[in-house]
């Protein structure tokens, strides 16, 4: 039933050699990774080196797997469009959602320690990726301090992010933090912060937040009654951002 298109096995597509600077900068304009590398002190000629080892892959359609637990680790990837869910299946066959990855964010970082991906990654809608061979990018990072620094930062940031959900927060705080977090991440990529689609099912949200799906329903309903949200199916509008931010504050630490 489920299709499985392994990133590792994905044919190398769309590898172009850059001719001129302008082309290079247009090449991956939606991929925040390049911009961040520039910010870390990489010059444009270095960016060219980075871009020649990028492969644009996709589209992956909803339900298609990008990689699976145990697949040999070869590459990290930046999400260019769509949403990726990462998850594991435990011994009892229960799914545990590890995270949702929006455009501009990088998947596969937790695979660096080990030869295989430690989790599954699946597209929730139509997903486009920039694939970076990790061995190659590691070699390049040795030449480009800006790139090395950016990779260290990405990894370090994820450590902190993973700790957020670990707290013993209430269902309300978790839900608020999830919504505000999504909103901010979307805003950072240029999307509307106050009105967006939930690309994941309620059960996925519940699983991610370690709540029962019923609890997610009830909290959303109450938020709506309190005027914090307008919920219509998977469409979300933030109507009481200040209160949500305040609820989410302790979780997001700001």
Partner DNA sequence: CGGGATGTTGAATATGATCAATGAGCGTGG
Partner DNA sequence: CCACGCTCATTGATCATATTCAACATCCCG
Q: Of 28 and 206, which CB lies nearer to DNA in the complex structure?
A: 206
Give the shortest CB-253-to-its own copies separation in angstroms: 7
Angle at alpha carbon of residue 63, lines to 57 and 69, rounded to 5°: 75
Answer with the entry of DNA, its own copies, none that 216 interacts with (C-beta below 5 to 8 A by kind): DNA
Give the pair of three-digit tokens for residue 11.
């044919």
Answer with the entry of DNA, its own copies, none that 127 interacts with (C-beta below 5 to 8 A by kind): none
Give the shortest CB-17-to-its own copies separation in angstroms: 25
- Residue burial 128-167, b: 16+ Cβ < 10 Å; e: rest: bbbbbbbeebeebbeebebbbbbbeebeeeeeeeeeebee
Compose the 139-168 pattern: x for residues touching DNA by CB under 7 A, - for all others.
Answer: -----------------------------x
Give the shortest CB-149-to-its own copies separation in angstroms: 7
Give the shortest CB-118-to-DNA separation in angstroms: 25
Q: Of 112 and 187, which CB lies nearer to its own copies in the complex structure?
A: 112
Q: Of 156 and 194, which CB lies nearer to its own copies in the complex structure?
A: 156
Q: Of 82 and 108, which CB lies nearer to DNA in the complex structure?
A: 82
Give the shortest CB-222-to-DNA separation in angstroms: 9
Answer with the entry of DNA, its own copies, none that 218 interacts with (C-beta below 5 to 8 A by kind): DNA
Give the shortest CB-10-to-its own copies separation in angstroms: 22
Q: Of 180 and 229, which CB lies nearer to its own copies in the complex structure?
A: 180
Range 210-239, binding DNA (CB under 7 A): 210-218, 220-221, 231, 233-234
């Amino acid at each position: 039933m489920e299709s499985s298109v392994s990133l590792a096995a994905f044919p190398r597509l769309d590898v172009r050699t850059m001719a001129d600077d302008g082309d290079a900068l247009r090449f991956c304009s939606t991929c925040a990774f390049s911009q961040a590398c520039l910010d870390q002190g990489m010059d444009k000629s270095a960016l060219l080196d980075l871009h020649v080892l990028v492969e644009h892959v996709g589209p992956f359609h909803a339900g298609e797997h990008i990689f699976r637990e145990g697949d040999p680790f070869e590459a990290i990837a930046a999400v260019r469009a769509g949403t990726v869910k990462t998850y594991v299946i435990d011994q009892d066959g229960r799914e545990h959602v590890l995270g949702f990855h929006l455009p501009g964010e990088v998947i596969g970082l937790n695979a660096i320690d080990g030869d295989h991906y430690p989790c599954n990654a699946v597209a929730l809608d139509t997903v486009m990726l920039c694939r970076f061979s990790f061995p190659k990018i590691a070699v390049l990072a040795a030449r480009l301090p800006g790139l090395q620094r950016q990779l260290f930062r990405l990894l370090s940031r994820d450590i902190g992010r993973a700790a957020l959900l670990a707290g013993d927060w209430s269902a309300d705080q978790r839900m608020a933090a999830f919504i505000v977090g999504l909103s901010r991440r979307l805003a950072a990529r240029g999307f509307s912060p106050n009105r967006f689609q939930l690309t994941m099912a309620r059960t996925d949200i519940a699983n991610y937040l370690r709540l029962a799906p019923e609890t997610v329903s009830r909290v959303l309903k109450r938020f709506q009654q309190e005027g914090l949200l307008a919920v219509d199916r998977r469409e979300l509008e933030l109507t009481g951002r200040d209160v949500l931010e305040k609820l989410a504050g302790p979780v997001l630490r700001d």
